Amino acid sequence: MQFQNNLDFAKELDAKDPLRKYKEEFHFPKVNDKQVIYFTGNSLGLQPKNTQAIVDEVMTDWRELAVEGHFYAKNPWMTYHEKFAEPLAKVVGALPKEVTVMNTLTVNLHMLMVSFYQPTEKRFKILCEAKAFPSDQYMLESQTKFHGFDPNEAIVEVAPREGEHIIRTEDVLAKIEEHGDELALVLIGGINYYTGQVMDMKTITKAGHDVGAKVGWDLAHAAGNIKLELHDWDVDFAAWCSYKYMNSGPGNMSGIFVHEKHVENKDLNRFAGWYGHNKERRFLMEPNFDPMTSAEGWIASNPPILAMAPYYTSLEMFDEVGMDALIEKRDQITSYLEFVILEIAKEVGGNFEIITPELPFRGSQLSVLLHGAGKELFNFLMERGVIVDWREPSVIRLAPVPLYTSYEDMYHFGQTLKEGLKKS
């Protein structure tokens, strides 16, 4: 398609957009009494308008039924988490028994590493990306220390080459091959939070398995954003948060994936709790943990219903739309945003570069490295109601989420960007 950087063209794209109605299903903040252009769904998704009703439903059931809500609520709390399996499996490319919701992201990665990071004297190393999200870095460091290893020796990082921004797949594969029989685990972010690079998860997973390592993925920026085929890629485990692209609310629940080949292995190490115990015998209060033969076998505590309710509301929308339709719009609107940015650069001589790779190695994010304009441009955009994200030393991240951003938003952002560049 030949893009044009003008309002009429943007409105024409919106008129043809089969997902355009969903923008009206979300609440938008306002700046100077005007609805913002929201580019930070990769940090916190907007609130769906029907979220309040489902939270109120839980509050009403709690008020009127108290403990009996576990069995007689409109959506009984005892089995509330089970509703997630079918729709969530579609989002991440899994079998329903391979997914569940519990805890928060870093907690879940720790829980899963109990099962999948079992180092020996010889095979103890973990491969990750350089400058992973700090929470992952801290988690890996603490895990290696817990097992008695020096993190400087046990953690192997793969970084972009000198003068480059993204990590080459061949460099990941070379690092896996280099450490071979010393490698216990490959654990990488499926999308790099800083650059927006989508990793070649299928290829990397196979390479890790070829040398005898387990392979897991942190999908914080991937779930609800890109096409995932976790089961078919033979991924051992994965976890993701739900508050970014999946719009479940600040700091909310995490989802996990455990491959079918592992869920029936009751001998796997895990930190057990009563909600992962055989549900037919859960209330017998008997000794000896008998894990459920699904991802639910990793649940430790009672699912928090008030936290799960907003997640399920958003997940219903994902189920209605489907990942294929989301991805089709994502690719076009992100490409249009890139076009607008580059056109503005031509007009006013903006000194910046887009460091996010081309399709298929990107999702709903463009990371723009500023050379010269710096944080003044970020502040200008925020003051004008364009909500973007700043990452040191000089990157603005833009995430045009397909459910609630429009092509007209992209055009108006371009005009605000032009005004900001002229002032900087």
pLDDT along the chain (424 residues), means of 10: 96 98 98 96 97 97 97 95 97 98 97 97 97 93 98 97 96 98 98 97 98 98 98 98 97 97 95 93 91 96 96 96 98 98 89 92 96 84 96 93 98 96 81
Residues 158 and 188 in one domain: yes
List all residues 6 or more positions away from 172 whose beta carbon is below 8 Å from its beta carbon.
Answer: 127, 158, 188, 199, 200, 204, 207
- Cβ–Cβ < 8 Å for 183, 176: yes
Question: What DSSP assignment string belongs to 93-115?
Answer: T--GGGEEEES-HHHHHHHHHHH
pLDDT number for residue 373: 65
Q: Is residue 174 part of a domain?
A: yes
Buried (b) or exposed (e) across 34-61, using 16+ Cβ within 10 A? eebbbbbbbebbbbbeebeebbeebeeb
DSSP letter assigned to residue 298: G
- Choose the final residue of a domain: 281, 297, 321: 321
**In angstroms, what CA-CA distances link 56 with 27, 53, 70, 74?**
17, 5, 16, 12
Q: Is residue 70 part of a domain?
A: no
pLDDT number for residue 423: 79
User: How many CB atoms are closer than 10 A to CB 63?
Assistant: 9
pLDDT number for residue 352: 85
Closest by CA to 339, choosing from 412, 400, 414, is 414
Residues 41 and 79 in one domain: no
Residues 39 and 111 in one domain: no
Q: Looking at the whole model, is its pTM more than 0.85?
A: yes
- Choose the final residue of a domain: 321, 352, 370: 321
Closest by CA to 422, choosing from 355, 344, 305, is 344
Residues 281 and 393 in one domain: no
Domain that holds residue 22: 7-49+323-423
CATH number of the domain where residue 356 is located: 3.90.1150.10
Residues 310 and 373 in one domain: no
Residues 197 and 303 in one domain: yes
Give ∠ CA 411-328-337 in degrees, rounded to 5.
20
As a whole number of angstroms, the distance between CA 421 and CA 349 comes to: 8
Residues 173 and 236 in one domain: yes
As a whole number of angstroms, the distance between CA 210 and CA 422 comes to: 53
- Cβ–Cβ < 8 Å for 340, 372: no
Q: Is residue 64 part of a domain?
A: no
| Count of the separate structural domains present in the chain | 2
Residues 172 and 286 in one domain: yes
